[in-house]
Amino acid sequence: MQSKSKYASIHYNSYLQIDKITSSQNLRSEEFGNAAHEEMLFIITHQVYELWFKQIIHELDAVKSDFSENKVNEGTIGIAVGRLNRVIEIFKLLVQQIGVMETMTPLDFLDFRNYLFPASGFQSFQFRTIEVMLGLKKERRVTYNNKAYELEFSSAQQEVLQKLEAGKSLFTCIEEWLERTPFLEFGDFQFINAYKASVEQMHTKEKESITKSDYLDEEGKQMRIKMVEDTQSYFLNIMNEDVHLELISQGKIKLSYKATIAALFINLYRDEPILHQPFQLISKLIEIDNQLTQWRSRHAQMVMRMLGKKVGTGGSSGHEYLAKTASSHYIFDDLHNVSTLLIPRSDLPTLPDDFKRSLGFYFSSSI
Model confidence over 289-335: pLDDT tens digits?
Answer: 999 999 999 988 888 888 886 665 544 556 777 788 877 789 999 99
> DSSP state, 362?
-
Mean pLDDT of 30-53: 96
Long-range CB contact pairs, 293-300, < 8 A, 24+: 293/326, 293/329, 293/330, 294/91, 294/95, 295/91, 295/94, 295/95, 295/98, 296/322, 296/325, 296/326, 296/329, 297/323, 297/326, 298/95, 298/98, 299/98, 299/121, 300/326
What pLDDT does 333 receive? 93
Query: Are 115 and 38 a contacting pair, CB within 8 Å?
Result: no
- Give Cα 291 distance to the centre of its chain: 8
3-class DSSP state of 264: helix
pLDDT for residue 159 is more than 90 = yes
Q: How far is 332 from 329, CA to CA, in rounded Å?
A: 10
Q: Range with the lowest mean pLDDT among 43-52, 150-159, 301-310?
A: 301-310
What pLDDT does 281 receive? 97
pLDDT for residue 168 is more than 60 = yes
What pLDDT does 364 receive? 40
Query: Are 228 and 250 a contacting pair, CB within 8 Å?
Result: no
Query: Are 158 and 150 a contacting pair, CB within 8 Å?
Result: yes
* pLDDT confidence bin for 14, thresholds 50/70/90: very high
Mean pLDDT of 24-53: 96
Number of H helices, E strands in the chain: 17, 2
**What top-level class would CATH report for the domain 12-185+255-358?**
mainly alpha
What pLDDT does 3 receive? 62
What pLDDT does 329 receive? 86
Instruction: List, for residues 218-255, the tens digit of each pLDDT value.
Output: 888 899 999 888 887 777 777 889 989 998 999 889 99
What pLDDT does 156 receive? 95
Instruction: List, for residues 259-286, the tens digit of each pLDDT value.
Output: 999 999 999 999 988 899 999 999 999 9
pTM of the model: 0.88
Within a 13 Å sphere around the CA of 295, how many CA atoms are in the beta-carbon half? 21
What pLDDT does 363 receive? 43
Determine how β-strand 185-186 pairs with β-strand 189-190: antiparallel
What pLDDT does 270 receive? 93
What pLDDT does 176 receive? 95
Q: How far is 98 from 326, CA to CA, in rounded Å?
A: 15
Q: Above pLDDT 70, what percent of the chain?
A: 93
> Mind giving me the DSSP string for 109-144?
HHTTGGGSTT--GGG-HHHHHHHHHHT--GGGSPPB
What pLDDT does 2 receive? 58
Average pLDDT, the chain: 88
* pLDDT confidence bin for 365, thresholds 50/70/90: very low
Mean pLDDT of 65-77: 85
**Phi, psi for 117 (deg, rounded to 5):** -60, 135
Within a 13 Å sphere around the CA of 65, how many CA atoms are in the beta-carbon half? 8
What pLDDT does 101 receive? 93
Beta bridge partners of 144: 147
